[in-house]
Chain A
Amino acid sequence: MGDTMLTALILVPVVAAVIVMLLPANRKELALPVGFGLSFIPLAIAGYLFFHFETGVAGYQYTQKAVWYEAWGISWNLGVDGISLGLVALSVILVPIALAASTNITDRTKEFVVFTLLLEAGLIGSFLALDLFLFFVFFEAVLVPMYFIIGIWGSERRIYAALKFFIFTAFGSAFLLASIVALSVLHNQQFGAPSFDLRDLMSLDLSLSQSRWLFAGFGIAFAIKVPVFPLHTWLPDAHVQAPTAGSVLLAGVMLKLGTYGLLRFNLNLFPQAAVDAVPIIATLAVIGIIYGAIVAIVQPDLKKLVAYSSVSHLGFIVLGTAALTSAGFQGAVIQNVNHGLTTGALFLLVGMIYERRHTKQIADFGGLAKVMPIFAGLFLFTAFASIGLPGLNGFVGEFLVLIGSYSSIPGFAAVAAFGVILAAIYLLWAYERVFTGVPDKPENQKLVDLTPREIGLMVPLVVLMIVLGLYPKILLDRTAASTEALLDRVEQATTYEVPEPGRLADVFAGITEGDE
């Protein structure tokens, strides 16, 4: 049972998609409930996985390896560790919610459900793959359903957005594929057999320039996915045009492929290059944090505002990755999950109001708190989680990242902390314009508050936001060993040393070890 769990986790959504596909064509109202129901199976499997996950163990668990193409050293090679566990859990939680939020999709419902389930399989597969080739296959496979979800069920400029999304990502993938193949070839040169196994490739002896070029190859692909400034412009377009479920899964899980890839592959495979690249990555991350937030302030479109806030929040994750400290890594990993929950929830909420008013322009609203108190309350709650209010989930990740990165890259951390102010500005200003005051527009006066279904969608997210905010142990316990192992790997493979407490980082005080 144990070793086929992960395979089952990937295959169940595929099978579910096939089942939905086989539903009779004249009963298309069945597609959504059936897909929704079936999406609980991966949730159950992942839940079992999550709670039986051995804490304190750094290595991969539930591993399974089956040869796929021996001559090239490709295998069906799965495993989960603390870094991927949270993301897998996030995927299986968000998919049922995204499906349940899609009752407004009446055109080609069946295909929509099928694509969503396939997307889930691809996402989970990407997080579980320990074979780089397999990872690439899943990484690419994810694009197709998302392309169609945006392109078919999106709003007016959906084709433009879908194409832009696809081209950006495919552009990065080219570099990724080239780098993966190069690694395998190098493995062949050094060990006499090609291999795509992550753990084999970690033992490669790369020259500095090799590792830098390959790092860049991986880095570009993941930076586009994250997205890191200045490669972010596909994101607002994709989000604004995508249907609610698409936005939720795109922001909630798909962007995490980038941050996950940086942590999993760039750091493990090219530690020295990663250490050297810290100033570049941290600079881009900080620019992303500040820039995304500043640009979000004046966005007239609510969804675009949330999209830019994603740019800002993901900057924190990248910063935590670049911090190369224990707290920074933990913050990055947990922020991956947190951002998925809060931003997913924000997109859901924007979707709900869009269904009612068919507009996302902030200027079209005003005084909604009067007519939709529950909606306003949930929005405010989620906004505060996103702002990083302590006690809710957003804070834990952000705080760990900031505190963790200060000891190694203090200047960047200090500037990044400024993003916390900006987050309050753009979200609260938006809240003020949308919800407060008197509802003076006649269209707004007749709006009805959330239905029980819509509240039900939000409840699991809200509960998770509180639980992860006050009791992040549930996740941190599972990630700690893995992040420590990653840090050890970086330390052992390079000259980098994690800053000790009490000794300020060199940049800041110029204190060297000799002084102690």
Chain B
Amino acid sequence: MTDAIWLVIALPLAGAVFLHFFGRRLGEPLAGIIGTLSVAASFAVGFAAALPFIVEEGAHGETVMLWEWMPAIGANLEIAWDSLAAVMTLIITGVGTLIHVFSIGYMHGDERFARFFTYLNLFIASMLTLVLGGNFAMVFMGWELVGLCSYLLISFWYTKPSAAAAGKKAFIVNRIGDFGFMIGLMLVFTNFGTLAFDGVFERVPEILDEGTATAIGLLFLVGAAGKSAQIPLYVWLPDAMEGPTPVSALIHAATMVTAGVYLVARTAPIFEAGPNAGLVVAIVGALTALWAASIAIAQSDIKKVLAYSTVSQLGYMFIAVGLGGYIAGIFHLMTHAFFKALLFLGSGSVIHGMHDEQDMNKMGGLLKKMPVTGITMGVATLAIAGIPPLAGFWSKDEILGVAFEYGGVGIVLWVIGLVTALITAFYMTRQWFMVFTGEPRWDKGVEPHESPRSMTVPLVVLAVLTVGAGFLNTPFRLTLEHFLEPSFELVKVAHPPEGWGMFALLAAISVGAGFAGMAMAGFVYSRPREIWERFQQGFGRLWEAWAAAYRVDDIYGATLVTPGRKLSERLAFTFDAGGIDGLVNGVGRAVRSVGTRTRVLQTGLVRNYGVGFVAGLLAVVIWLVVAGGGV
């Protein structure tokens, strides 16, 4: 099955190409069904190809070469199929299939229905290119292509200026990260002479000194921070919520944004050689987790809450992979994919049912109207809050355990993680209560209704996964760990502290934090609106700062965008047009003015010229006679 692994990418790509040319003719819902089937088929192929890793513990991956691309730098189109790639593939295609199904219902009636599935399929193909690439160039290709799809999908409703601007912002901010990634790649090539994974990772210890490895790691971090929305490049993700909600679920929660985590895990040997880079990754992750969580507290847009929550959860994963807990990071990546996709799809269902209303202040009491959505979202809220035995508990706990075990700075990170867990539990519970309980605060004419079957079924499936996925990797049975181990045999993977006692203690603390957050939110937001509004006002300016996301966008605008544009204008209109071109035209003018002065000599009269001619002639003759020593 490994030989046919290219099908995993080819199927969704073929779906995209097919839908691009024939989608409009197929119409609704056939285009959506074809798009879904191509991803589902890709999932099936991926699953079949992953079987060897499941059956035979410790099975090694292999690299399948497709064709030469840029042989001069060791970059060919090749697929590295190992257990890490398999996990990612299954997450992407699995969650992708569910979201495709959901989209058939959600995008119902959109005039560009087929185009939406074209882009979604293209995205799946790109994301798979990213995780399956057998060399850095191919990963970079996937990296950029998912950026493109993200751009296309965020600005899918391009007639809305804010959507178009958000798409552009996402792409450009990502590009800033890519700049770092690219320089990292240059360093890799300069040191190894190739970009192929095969030629790099095994030779890391013999070739890289610690300084270079740290440099490469930090540059990769820049790239990862762009793609995974970490400080300081996270600003694009909240804006990306302008896209249709399934896009937010698929790209901006479950898959694309985790590419940074995947990158760090994939390049683990380099981070191992430069551990300080890893530590920086973890610190960035922790700061982002706390920072974004605090912003999420005060958001009133249902999707913005989830967006900042995603940023925060990605920070968690960064903590894990930064400290060497690659498997913990990937584990959280997986569980997060399930429950965050569920949350986004649930919010999509709410928005759909509320006629495109996104303001939570105008919701309330929806549980009765939308029971499936409400219950499944409730499950996801519990999961993200880290309540056992749901998936979020196991993965989050493992990350906190890794941080605790690291010691030193790790303890600080662990505390930050705990605080974040508490805040997360708070704002997620707040969201659930604001949306689903209390008095209805709907606008006039809005009649909430439960979404169609095509939307609720994926919710239920995801809810089941949210409940069950955690058991893939519990301290009792480390299935995922053993599955992934062959992919990380070059490095030493960090683990939570050994022993049941420590496990129980740490789990108790984190669960306590989760419960505390939920209790606080539940206490406030289960009561009438006036009470929680007074509660919010109690925070004063702090709440305003959170609600305004610390005005980071304005700060970037004032310090980077506006001066940048000024510089550009200065260069274009003053320096280039006036300076350089002015210099050129100045030379032209100088020549012309010399000409104007000397033109009086040109009388146009033959005899005047003749005088000059004869004078010259005589001068030559005299010179010949005098200096030439005779004729």
A residues neighboring B (CB under 8 Å): 164, 167, 230, 232-234, 291, 294-295, 297-299, 326-327, 330, 367, 369-370, 384, 389-391, 395-396, 399-400, 402-404, 406-407, 410, 413-414, 417-418, 420-421, 424-425, 428-429, 431-432, 435-438, 470-473, 476, 480, 499-502, 504-505, 509
What residues on A are CB-neighbors of B588 within 8 Å? 167
Tell me how far the C-beta of A505 lies from the nearest C-beta in chain B, rounded to whole angstroms: 7
Within 8 Å by CB of A298, from B77, B144, B161, B569, lies B569
Nearest CB in chain B: distance from A116 CB, A: 28
Q: List 6 interface pairs A-B (beta carbons < 8 Å), by A numbering.
A: A298-B573, A407-B189, A421-B172, A473-B67, A473-B71, A504-B191
How close is A467's CB to chain B, nearest CB, in angstroms? Answer: 12
Q: Of A391, A435, A471, A501, which is within 8 A of B189 by CB?
A: A501
CB nearest neighbor in B for A438: B159
Please tell me if the beta carbons of B190 and A410 are within 8 angstroms of each other in the complex: yes
Contact in complex: A400, B182 (CB < 8 Å): no
Contact A421 B69 (CB under 8 A): no
Q: What count of chain B residues pass the 8 Å CB interface test?
A: 58
Closest to B207 in A: A502
Contact partner of A501 (CB less than 8 A), chosen from B190, B565, B580, is B190
**Contact flags (1/0) for B133-147 with A, using CB distance below 8 Å?**
000010011111100
Those of B132-176 within 8 Å (CB) of chain A? 137, 140-145, 148, 151, 155, 158-161, 163-165, 168, 171-172, 175-176
Q: How far is the CB of A386 from chain B (nearest CB, A)?
A: 13
- Which B residues, 174 to 197, have Cβ-Cβ distances below 8 Å to chain A? 175-176, 178-179, 182-183, 185-187, 189-195
How far is B187's CA from A505's CA once the two chains are assembled, in angstroms?
Answer: 10
What's the nearest-Cβ distance from chain A to residue B255, in Å?
18
Q: Which chain A residue lies CB-closest to B189?
A: A403
Chain A residues near B176 (CB-CB < 8 A): 421
The residue that A402 contacts in the complex, of B182, B212, B565, with Cβ under 8 A, is B182
A509 and B190 alpha carbons, distance in the complex (Å): 12
- CB-CB under 8 A from A399, the residues of chain B are 70, 73, 137, 140, 182
Q: B565: shortest Cβ distance to chain A, in Å?
A: 7
Closest residue on chain A to residue B584 by CB atoms: A233
- Whether A470 lies near B580 (C-beta < 8 A) is no
> Which residues in B have some Cβ–Cβ distance to A below 8 Å?
67-73, 77, 137, 140-145, 148, 151, 155, 158-161, 163-165, 168, 171-172, 175-176, 178-179, 182-183, 185-187, 189-195, 207, 212, 565, 567-569, 571-573, 576, 580-581, 584, 588
Instruction: Tell me if B148 and A435 are in contact (CB < 8 A).
Output: no
Establish whether residues B72 and A417, one from each chain, have CB atoms under 8 Å apart when the complex forms.
no
Is B190 a contact partner of A432 (Cβ separation < 8 A)?
A: no
- The residues of A that contact B155 with a CB separation of less than 8 Å are 436
Q: Which residues from chain B contact A297 at a C-beta distance below 8 Å?
A: 565, 568, 572
Are A435 and B158 interface neighbours, CB within 8 A? Answer: yes
The listed residue (B68, B142, B164, B572) touching A432 by CB distance below 8 A is: B164
Secondary structure of the B side of the interface?
A: helix
Q: Tell me whether B158 and A233 are in contact (CB under 8 A).
A: no
Q: Are A436 and B158 in contact (CB under 8 A)?
A: yes
Provide the bound-state CA to CA distance between A499 and B192, in Å: 12
Establish whether residues A406 and B189, one from each chain, have CB atoms under 8 Å apart when the complex forms.
yes
B67 x A471 contact (CB < 8 A): yes
Given contacts A421-B175, A504-B190, contact A403 B145 (CB under 8 A): no
Instruction: For the A-B complex with A298-B565, A413-B186, A420-B182 known, give 6 more contacts whose Cβ atoms are closer than 8 Å.
Output: A389-B148, A406-B187, A428-B151, A436-B158, A471-B69, A499-B190
Contact of A500 among B70, B193, B195 (CB under 8 A): B193
- The CA-CA distance from A421 to B174 in the complex, in Å, is 9
Contacts of A413 in B (CB 8 A): 183, 186
Contacts of B168 in A (CB 8 A): 428-429, 431-432
A425 x B145 contact (CB < 8 A)? no
Residues of chain A contacted by B192 (CB below 8 angstroms) = 501-502
By a CB distance below 8 angstroms, the chain A residues around B187 are 406
Cα–Cα, bound, A390→B189 (Å): 18
Minimum distance in angstroms from A416 CB to a CB of chain B: 10
Alpha-carbon separation in the docked complex, A299 to B571 (Å) = 11
A424's partner among B163, B171, B207, B584 (CB-CB below 8 A) is B171
Asked if B145 and A428 sit within 8 Å, CB to CB, the answer is no
* Residue of B137, B182, B194, B581 touching A233 (CB-CB under 8 A): B581
Q: When the two chains form their complex, are residues A470 and B182 in contact, meaning their CB atoms are under 8 A apart?
A: no
Residue in B closest to A425 when the chains form the complex, CB atoms: B172
CB <8 Å contact, B186 and A470: no
Determine the chain A residues whose CB is within 8 A of the CB of B571 once the complex forms. Answer: 291, 294-295
Please pick, from B143, B160, B190, B212, the residue contacting A407 in the complex, using a CB distance under 8 A: B190
- The CA-CA distance from A110 to B171 in the complex, in Å, is 46
Set of chain A residues within 8 Å of B182, measured between Cβ atoms? 399, 402, 417, 420
Q: Bound complex: CA of A421 vs CA of B183, how far in Å?
A: 13
On whether the beta carbons of A390 and B165 are closer than 8 Å, the reply is no
- Nearest CB to that of A436 among chain B residues? B164
Kindly list chain A residues whose C-beta atoms are within 8 Å of the C-beta of B151. Answer: 428
With a cutoff of 8 Å between Cβ atoms, the chain A residues found around residue B212 in the complex are 504, 509
Contact of A476 among B70, B171, B185 (CB under 8 A): B70
- Chain A residue, CB-CB nearest to B159: A438
Please indicate which of the listed interface residues A396, A435, A437 has the most CB atoms of chain B within 10 Å of its own CB. Answer: A437
B137 proximity list for chain A (CB < 8 A): 390, 399
Find out whether the CB atom of B72 lies under 8 angstroms from the CB atom of A327: yes
Bound together, the chains give a CA A367 to CA B157 distance in angstroms of 11
The 6 closest A-B pairs by CB, nearest first: A501-B193, A390-B141, A436-B164, A406-B186, A233-B581, A436-B158
